[in-house]
Structure 1
Amino acid sequence: MQDYTECDRYLLQFYKDVRNFYCKAVSSVYKKLPVFDETLKLLTITDYKNRDTHTFDGLVSLLEMFPCLKKELDLVKLEEEFISYQVLDIDALVKGSKIRMDTFWHKIGQIKDPGTGRNTFVLLPTVMKQLLVLPHSNADCERAFSTTRKNRIEAHGEATNAVLKGLLAPKVNMLSDCSCFEWKP
C-alpha cells in the first residue's frame, strides 16, 4: 500500500463488504419477522394515535379473525361507539404524556354521558382490552413443554401422565398471587 490509490481501493472494498453484510442481515430479519402480517397491521387499531387511519371495517375484519371476541357483540352499537371514539378529544385524556394502552382504554370506558350519567363507551373498551391481551408468542406453552420434558426424562422416566400432571399443576399455579402455603390444589 505504497500509494494512495491502492489504499483507496482497499477502503472502497471494505465499505462495500460492510454494506453487503448489513443488506444480508436486514434481509434475514425480514424473512424471520412477520413484518407484513395482516393481523399485526390491524392490531395497531388499539393504539389511540392510529384512530384516524383505521376504519370500523378494519375492526370487524380483526374480529372475524378471532370469533370468540365477536360472539354476542352488537355490531351496530360497537360501530356507534367507534365513530364517537374517532371524534373524541383524546388530548384531554392523555394530557400530552405517554400512557399505556390498557390504562387508556380503561379511561375511555370510564367516560360518562353528561345527559344520562351512563358510560359512553361500553363495548369498544372491552373489545380493545381483549385484543391487547392476545398472546404474542407461544412462550407459555413452550415453558410447560420444557418442564414436562424435564420431569419425564430427568426425574421420573416411568411416570404416568397423571403423575406428570400432578407435578406440573403446582408449578403453573404458583404463578398466582397467593403464597405457596395458602394455595389449594
Structure 2
Amino acid sequence: MNIEPKNNHVKRVADSLNSLMTHASRIGTIKEDTLLLLRGYLANFIQPEIIIATADILTIDYRNKVNQLPRNSLVVGNDTLDLISEFEDEIHSTLMGDRFYDSVRLFYETVVSKMLAKFPHRNDTLSDLVFLNPRNRTHCCIQSITRLCKQFMTTTSEEIDQIIQEFVAYKITPDNQLPLYNSTDIAAIDHFWSAMSSLEVVTSVDLSDSPLAYSNLSKLSKILLTLPHSNADPERLFSMVKKLRLIPVLY
C-alpha cells in the first residue's frame, strides 16, 4: 500500500505566495510576507512553543528532532489522516508508518531549507523598506530613511534632512490625522502614500494655502513603490506573447 499525502493545509500556506504576485506593489511588506510563509511551514512540524519563544525564527534548529512535533501531531492533511486511520493496524505492524512520517519530516525540512537559502530574509534594503507599511511607522529608524534616500534618490544633505523631519513628524502623528489604511485592500500601501502626498499641514482653520505636510517623504515612498517585488509581470507578458504566437497555428 502506498500512502500519498494530500495536504490541503500545505497548499493553503503555499497559496499565500500568490499575494506576492499581485500587480499592486508589496515591496514594503515582502519581508513580512516571506517570514509569515516560513512561519506557516514551521508550524507544520515544529513545536509551537519553540516558534513562539524564538524571537528570530530564522535561527530555529528545525532539523533537531527535539524541536519537532511527535509523529501523531505532524500536519499531513485530513484525507491522509483518514487513510492512515483506515489502515492503522497494517501501518503500525510494519515499518511503513515510520517511513511515511520520516518522509513527511524530510519534506518540511527540505522546504524550510530552500526558503532559508533562497528568500532574502537578511537583506538590509528589504528591512529598511518596511517603513512603507503604515503599521510599522513607529518601529522604523532614521538610519533606514537615510540609507534609502542615498540608495534610490539623487538628493542633497538638506533634502535628506527635510525628509527626515517629515518622517519624524509622520511617526508621531495620530492615526486619525493620517489617510485611512485598509490592510485588506491589495493596493492599500499605494493608496495610502498617494493620499499622503496631498496631505496638508494643519496650521489654521483655512487650509487652502497650507503647504503639503509630507511632500518629500511621499516622493521617496512613491519611488520605492516602483521597485519590482516579483517577476510575475514579465512572466505574464511571456505567456501572452506565447498565446499570440499560437493563434495562427490554432486557426
TM-score (norm 1): 0.63
Structure 1, 47-56 or 87-96: larger mean CA deviation: 87-96
Alignment of 1:31-42 (within 5 A): 31-42=117-128
Cα root mean square deviation, aligned:
3.3
**What's 1:129 paired with?**
222
| Residue in 2 that maps onto 1:70 | 154
**Residue identity in the other structure for 1:50:** N
Q: Which has the larger radius of gyration?
A: 1
Asked whether 1:104 is paired with 2:197, we answer: no
Letter in 2 for 1:114: V
Shift of 1:94: 4.8
Query: Equivalent residue for 1:119?
Result: 212
Aligned length: 144
Q: In 1, Cα distance between the equivalents of 2:161 and 2:140?
A: 17
**Matched-pair contact (CA < 8 Å) for 2:142–2:164:** yes
Higher mean displacement: 133-142 or 83-92 = 133-142
* Residue 40 of structure 1: how far off its partner (Å): 1.4
Query: Counterparts of 2:200 and 2:91 in 1: how far apart (Å)?
Result: 75
Q: Secondary structure at the residue paired with 1:129?
A: helix
Aligned to 1:59: 145
- The runs of 5 or more residues in structure 1 that have no matched partner are 148-185
Give 1:97 deviation, angstroms. Answer: 3.2
Retained in 1: the 8 A contact 2:145–2:164? no
Quote the offset at 1:11 in angstroms. Answer: 1.8
Amino acid at match of 1:39: T
By relative contact order (CA 8 Å, sep 6+), the higher-ranking structure is 2
Q: 1:64 to 1:39 in 2, by over 3 A?
A: same
Partner SS, residue 106 of structure 1: helix
How many angstroms does 1:92 deviate by? 4.8
What one-letter code is carried by the residue in structure 1 that aligns with 2:142? F
Deviations along 1:15-68, one digit per CA (max 9) or x if unpaired, are: 1221111111221232222222211111111111111111111111122332xx
Provide the C-alpha distance between the structure 1 equivalents of 2:178 and 2:202, rounded to a whole number of angstroms: 16
2:155 partner amino acid: K
